[in-house]
């Protein structure tokens, strides 16, 4: 699942929605999500207006429709599971239709924001919202090296595949674990080099 998520990201495209300030989009998304979650299910007006707003944003942002729908479906197994369990429940629990509607709306909101806002801009907005600096630095580094490490593990996987013919389960688990272990070793060595590089560029 995650690999398809990684490769298709539209946060750097150009559209009126992309150009809006990140803090505004994050704030609006937060209000929409909190409002949608807390709203009693009989407030149809709210849900319809949120839906209309999201549709307008979707059209203005020029995101590919299929991409958007695929993301929406890909991320909903939890909702489906809860809905399924809930369909078997007595009446005094929240109706599954309500849950499905609410979480789809929230999910659509986050997908729209995350695909129209570069992550660095989002971090800037979080920084201004007084999120602790250490957490911001960690997120920044994670975002920067996420793709590097994913590629590195992909390279290791290819190297392993080109050297092994065995496809036995037990052996495979062991070699896959070695790959992950090696990935950790390489990540920590890289962290040391990054620290040196940061210091030589005047990081306090």
Partner 1 sequence: MHIPDGIIDGKTAATAAGLSMIGVGWALRRVKRELPPRKIPLLGLAAAFLFAAQMVNFPIAAGTSGHLIGGTLIAALLGPSAAVVVVTTVLIVQCFLFADGGVMALGANIFNMAILGSVGGYAVFRVTNSLLAGSRGRITAIAFAAWCSVVFAAISCAGQLAWSGTVSWRAAFPAMAGTHMIIGLGEGLISALVFIAIQRTRPEMIVDDTQPRRARELVVFGMVATLGIALFIAPFACPWPDGLESVAAKLGFESQAVANSAFAPLPDYQLPGMHWAIGATALAGVIGSLVVFILAMLLGWLLAPKKSGIKGNA
Site for partner 1 in 109-148 (CB under 8 A): 110-111, 113-114, 119, 122, 132, 134-135, 137-146, 148
20 binds partner 1 (CB under 8 A): no
Q: Which of 75, 121, 124, 127 binds partner 1 (CB under 8 A)?
A: 75
Please, which residue, 43 or 182, has the CB nearer to partner 1?
A: 182
**Which range, of 12-20, 44-52, 57-65, 189-197, touches partner 1 by CB under 8 A?**
189-197
Tell me which residue of 8, 10, 121 sits closest to 63, measured CA to CA.
10
63 binds partner 1 (CB under 8 A): no
Taking CA atoms, 195 is separated from 30, 40, 87, 201, in Å, by 35, 50, 53, 10
158 binds partner 1 (CB under 8 A): no
Please, which residue, 5 or 56, has the CB nearer to partner 1?
A: 5
180 binds partner 1 (CB under 8 A): yes
Taking CA atoms, 179 is separated from 61, 147, 157, 186, in Å, by 40, 17, 8, 10
Q: Which of 13, 85, 129, 159 binds partner 1 (CB under 8 A)?
A: 85
174 binds partner 1 (CB under 8 A): yes
Instruction: State how far the Cα of 127 lies from the Cα of 40, in Å rounded to an integer.
Output: 33
Q: Which of 17, 50, 57, 79 binds partner 1 (CB under 8 A)?
A: 79
28 binds partner 1 (CB under 8 A): no
Instruction: State how far the Cα of 152 lies from the Cα of 94, in Å rounded to an integer.
Output: 45
Q: How far is the CB of 19 from partner 1 (least distance, A)?
A: 19
Q: Counting beta carbons within 10 angstroms of the beta carbon of residue 60, is it exposed (0 to 12), middle (13 to 18) or buried (19 or more)?
A: middle
- Please report, for the chain, how many H helices and E strands are present, in that order: 10, 0
What phi and psi values does residue 171 have, to the nearest 5 degrees? -65, -40
């Amino acid at each position: 699942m995650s690999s398809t998520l990684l490769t298709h990201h539209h946060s750097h495209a150009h559209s009126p929605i992309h150009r809006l300030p990140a803090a505004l989009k994050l704030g609006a998304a937060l209000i929409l999500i909190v409002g949608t979650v807390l709203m009693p299910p009989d407030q149809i007006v709210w849900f319809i207006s949120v839906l209309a707003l999201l549709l307008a944003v979707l059209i203005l942002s020029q995101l590919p429709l299929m991409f958007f729908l695929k993301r929406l479906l890909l991320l909903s197994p939890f909702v489906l599971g809860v809905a399924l369990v809930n369909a078997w429940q007595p009446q005094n629990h929240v109706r599954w239709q309500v849950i499905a509607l609410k979480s789809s709306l929230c999910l659509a909101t986050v997908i729209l924001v995350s695909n129209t806002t570069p992550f660095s801009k989002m971090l800037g907005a979080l920084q201004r919202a007084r999120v602790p600096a250490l957490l911001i630095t960690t997120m920044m580094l994670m975002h920067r090296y996420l793709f590097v490490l994913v590629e590195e593990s992909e390279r290791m996987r290819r190297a392993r595949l080109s050297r092994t013919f065995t496809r036995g389960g037990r052996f495979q688990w062991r070699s896959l674990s070695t790959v992950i272990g090696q990935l950790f070793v390489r990540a920590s060595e890289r962290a040391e080099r990054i620290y040196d590089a940061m210091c030589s560029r005047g990081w306090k």
